[in-house]
Structure 1
Amino acid sequence: MTVNPIISPCLWFDTQAEEAANFYVSIFENSKILRILRYSEAGKEIHGKPAGSVLTVEFELNGQRFVALNGGPEFKFSEAVSFEINCETQQEIDHYWNRLSEGGEEESCGWLKDKFGLSWQVTPTILNEMLRDDKDERTQRVMDAILQMKKLDLAAIQKAYAGA
């Protein structure tokens, strides 16, 4: 048994695995495509995909390994699973929000869906500290402020926390 197994999210796409992997790699620093596997003639009666078409794309985003699978239209992403991006600055929040929401949907409270339907949370790292104590007035002010936002505004959140 491996002491430290590698856990890699597998993202199911209809036919856009390679497009999605390239999109994500273009947004995050220290990211790369690792390997592309293609369907072969073997099992064609089951998978129905043309030989040579993309089966999976293995890629890394900031050192986190992912697999994108072209599995067909049977399954779609939902908000039940999302990826959280913790950002130190408003500039980082703006970068990830703007890039990931291109062609997607801006939701609320720092949540968005990208053009493939995958949900992301773009949040400031300091938020966990601010929301630590649900009986604290500052926490309530921060929650009230966040609930009014789509993309999170770090200065407005800090202002709410301070009571200004």
Structure 2
Amino acid sequence: MKQTDSITPCLWFNSEAEEAVRFYTSLFDNSSIKKTTRFGKEGFEFHHKPEGSVMTVEFVLNGQSFLALNGGPDFKFNESVSLFVYCSSEERINFLYNKLTDGGSINMPLDKYDWSPKYAWVKDKFGISWQLDIEDINSQQKIVPSLLFVNDQFMKVKEAINFYSSVFPHSKILMEIPWDKSMNLPEGTLLFAQSKLNGYLLNAMSGGNFEHNFTFNEAISFIIYCDTQNEIDYYWNKLTDGGQELQCGWLKDKYGVSWQIVPKIFDELLEDPQKTGKVLNAMFEMKKFDIKKLSEAANEK
């Protein structure tokens, strides 16, 4: 596995993917829409999506890759996964706060807090959560997904970042902030942590010892694009250990976080409209992706 292997957040919308991506790419420099795919006739079986309607949108925010998917109404965004933006200036954080709260809602208003001179936690009009911090970060990656561990998992931040760091090569833990001793938690229980997984930054936070009405779901998942079947097998086996195998390359790890393990060749196989249906039919029969079977389906006469 190479250090250039990427993690790409996937945002699951009902049918608003195109509108949402236009909005997000208007907010950040170095942003663009890269590729849009549309449902063919087989889309009718996928939540009755009409032929020709948008299926996925690949886009870049501030130089980082994202994917938006129109998957239907099954999953709703919540605060278990948020996008943490290191804004670096008063002008920038004020701009994003005003734009993202327009039609959205405010969890924590823009203000000074113990951990930051200026910070906010908001939901945009599509339901995605954003944490905004005026602080800068010594990385080109300014938008960092943040996992919130709640309810019976609130003390598992350290365990989780150690696990993820063991799965991805070239990984390291950059920051660990423990809970205050007044919480009477086991020593070393983490409130916040930041890790770098094969070059990709990921934050993890504890939601504290009170009940939350949400947890991880498929609304935001993380795609790992793989060159070979060996890579697919490696990530699949590591991340399903204690977790759950789902359909079409999706899985849940032992904490409930959703991942997609996808061969890089998959997009190429879908480019020929005459092969798309065959490839998708083969995919629908799979849990873990099998590159050989997908290629055979694409070349079926």
Normalised-by-shorter TM-score class = 0.7 to 0.9
- The one of 190, 211, 214 equivalent to 1:54 is 190
Measured after TM superposition, the shift of residue 122 of structure 1 is 0.2
Deviates more, 1:110-119 or 1:14-23: 14-23
Deviates more, 1:86-95 or 1:57-66: 57-66
Would the alpha carbon gap of residues 88 and 70 (structure 1) be closer, same or farther in structure 2, given more than 3 Å must change? same
| Letter paired with 1:64 | Y
Distance 2:169 2:141 in 1: 24
Distance 2:264 2:217 in 1: 24
Could you tell me which residue of structure 2 aligns to residue 163 of structure 1?
Answer: 300
Measured after TM superposition, the shift of residue 49 of structure 1 is 6.0
Confirm or deny that 1:29 pairs with 2:132.
no
Measured after TM superposition, the shift of residue 52 of structure 1 is 5.0
| Letter paired with 1:151 | K
Question: Does the aligned pair in 2 maintain the 1:58–1:66 contact within 8 Å?
Answer: yes
Which structure 2 residue ranges, 5 or more long, are not aligned?
1-88, 93-139
Distance 1:54 1:118 in 2: 18
Could you tell me which residue of structure 2 aligns to residue 16 of structure 1?
Answer: 156
Q: Deviations over 1:87-130 (max 9, x none)?
A: 00000000000000000000000000000000000000011122
Distance 2:141 2:289 in 1: 34
Could you tell me which residue of structure 2 aligns to residue 99 of structure 1?
Answer: 238
Measured after TM superposition, the shift of residue 142 of structure 1 is 0.4
RMSD: 2.0
Distance 2:228 2:286 in 1: 17
Percent of residue pairs bearing the same amino acid type = 43
Question: Does the aligned pair in 2 maintain the 1:40–1:52 contact within 8 Å?
Answer: no
Could you tell me which residue of structure 1 aligns to residue 179 of structure 2?
Answer: 39
Distance 2:141 2:173 in 1: 21
Would the alpha carbon gap of residues 151 and 52 (structure 1) be closer, same or farther in structure 2, given more than 3 Å must change? closer
Deviates more, 1:4-13 or 1:137-146: 4-13
Measured after TM superposition, the shift of residue 5 of structure 1 is 6.3
Structure 1 stretches of at least 4 aligned residues deviating more than 6 Å after TM superposition: none
- The one of 250, 255, 259 equivalent to 1:116 is 255
Confirm or deny that 1:148 pairs with 2:288.
no
Q: Deviations over 1:3-31 (max 9, x none)?
A: x6611111011221111111111011111
Decide which structure has greater strand share: 2
TM-score of the aligned structures, taking structure 1 as reference length: 0.88
Which structure 1 residue ranges, 5 or more long, are not aligned?
none
Measured after TM superposition, the shift of residue 65 of structure 1 is 0.7
Distance 1:110 1:89 in 2: 14
Measured after TM superposition, the shift of residue 137 of structure 1 is 2.1
Would the alpha carbon gap of residues 70 and 78 (structure 1) be closer, same or farther in structure 2, given more than 3 Å must change? same
Ranked by relative contact order (alpha carbons within 8 Å, sequence separation 6 or more), the top structure is 1
Deviates more, 1:124-133 or 1:56-65: 124-133
| Letter paired with 2:157 | A
